[in-house]
Amino acid sequence: MSTYSMPLKHPYQEQPEKAFWKKAVSNHYPLDITQWYTKKFPISGRPIATAGSCFAQHIGKQLKDQGFDFVDAEPAPAFLATESHLDYGYGMYSARYGNVYSSRQLLQLAQQALGKFTPEETYWHKNEGYVDPFRPTIEPEPFVSIDELNSHRNYHLQCVRKLFEDAQVFVFTLGLTETWVSKKDGSAFPMAPGVAGGLFDPQKYQLLNLSCADVIEDMVSFFKIVRRINNKMRFILTVSPVPLMATATDQQVIVATMHSKSVLRAAAGLLAERFRFVDYFPSYEIISAPVMRGQFYNPDMRTVSHYGVEHVMKQFFIEHQPPKKLKGKKPKETGQEDEDDVRCDEELLAVFGN
């Protein structure tokens, strides 16, 4: 008498095609690879704010152009010509904070806006004037007085607080782990002192290369402080695919880049797994995955082409379908913004090095 035995079962038998390299990748032309992302929650009809490193500027522009409810908590004054908006930091993000490269920067921005942290260093000298250490390139020329600088900063922080109160989705692009901090109170700056203002003093400043645990701790603290005043806020994290312009470590710049991006990607993934109100969108993977053969980078192999931005946002909008446009309003073509429309403080480092 024969005994019938059930076939052995294991978890992979139930997995969809997207889980298998041969079916999802090998048998497809790179641009035909699909199912990069599945949204965790909807964003249509919700006020959306953005911040982050340079690549985040592309995301904000696409959200605006596709008709989402984009928050601009600190709009340009009416007297400022449109072509000068970016020169003064308007329209880059949802407030005039410039590029926010690290988790430590983001946390301290929220802490300052909500009255939880007051840095001891509030200005840097530059030429005959003064710049804000936390956004030193936000104006094309230095402020003429400390009072003028403080007035701009106080208004800016009020706008940031309003942003956190009004937005319901906050998209943050993690860019760097390397950040320069004050030894005195831990203030984190977007650039090393001396690059765009101030003077570098190794007795006052040090390089902090954030670990995965550091990034997670910063972001958890950020989530808590923001949701304490706005429990409707949800977060979409992504990692910038733009390599470092320069590293302050002793590593070769490619090695330093891979270290930094790996730390940020691991942290973002863990945060998305841990919190129901945090999602992760893989812009980093879509641009830099080996199967893409570097086709989305410009000849410098660092900046992302319009073509690349368009492909990334196409994957995003498959899940988050753009709202219907107002009658008569013609949206811009995806990826058609000018190169000069993206401002990156890191570009200033290109002139250094022996």
Check: CB of residue 75 under 8 Å from CB of residue 196.
no
Question: Does any domain span residue 102?
Answer: yes
Q: What is the pLDDT of residue 54?
A: 86
Q: Is the pLDDT of residue 5 over 90?
A: no
Q: What is the pLDDT of residue 27?
A: 87
Q: Is the pTM of this model over 0.85?
A: yes
Question: Does any domain span residue 352?
Answer: no
Q: What is the pLDDT of residue 124?
A: 98
Average model confidence (pLDDT) for the chain? 92
Stretch 323-330: mean pLDDT: 55
H or E, element range at 264: helix 253-274
Stretch 243-262: mean pLDDT: 97
Q: How much of the chain, in percent, has pLDDT values that exceed 90? A: 86
Stretch 66-82: mean pLDDT: 96
**CATH number reported for the structural domain that contains residue 223 in this entry:** 3.40.50.1110
Q: What is the pLDDT of residue 207?
A: 98
* pLDDT tens per residue, range 223-238: 999 999 999 999 999 9
Question: Does any domain span residue 156?
Answer: no
Q: What is the pLDDT of residue 9?
A: 85
Q: How confident is the model at residue 334 (pLDDT cuts 50, 70, 90)?
A: very low
Q: Is the pLDDT of residue 340 over 80?
A: no
* pLDDT tens per residue, range 174-187: 999 999 999 999 99
Question: Does any domain span residue 235?
Answer: yes
Q: What are phi and psi of 20, to 5 degrees?
A: -115, 125
Q: For residue 307, give its domain range.
A: 36-117+162-189+207-320
Q: How confident is the model at residue 342 (pLDDT cuts 50, 70, 90)?
A: confident
Q: What is the pLDDT of residue 185?
A: 98
Check: CB of residue 267 under 8 Å from CB of residue 104.
no
Rg for the chain (alpha carbons), in Å?
22
Stretch 186-197: mean pLDDT: 96
Q: What is the pLDDT of residue 324?
A: 64
Q: Is the pLDDT of residue 1 over 60?
A: no
Structurally, how many domains does the chain consist of? 1
H or E, element range at 229: helix 212-229
Stretch 88-107: mean pLDDT: 96
Question: Does any domain span residue 134?
Answer: no
Strand partners of residue 48? 70, 169
Question: Does any domain span residue 3?
Answer: no
Question: Does any domain span residue 294?
Answer: yes
Q: What is the pLDDT of residue 349?
A: 56
Stretch 180-197: mean pLDDT: 97
Q: Which of 54, 37, 94, 102 is CA-nearest to residue 279? A: 37
Q: What is the pLDDT of residue 335?
A: 41
Stretch 126-145: mean pLDDT: 96
Question: Does any domain span residue 75?
Answer: yes
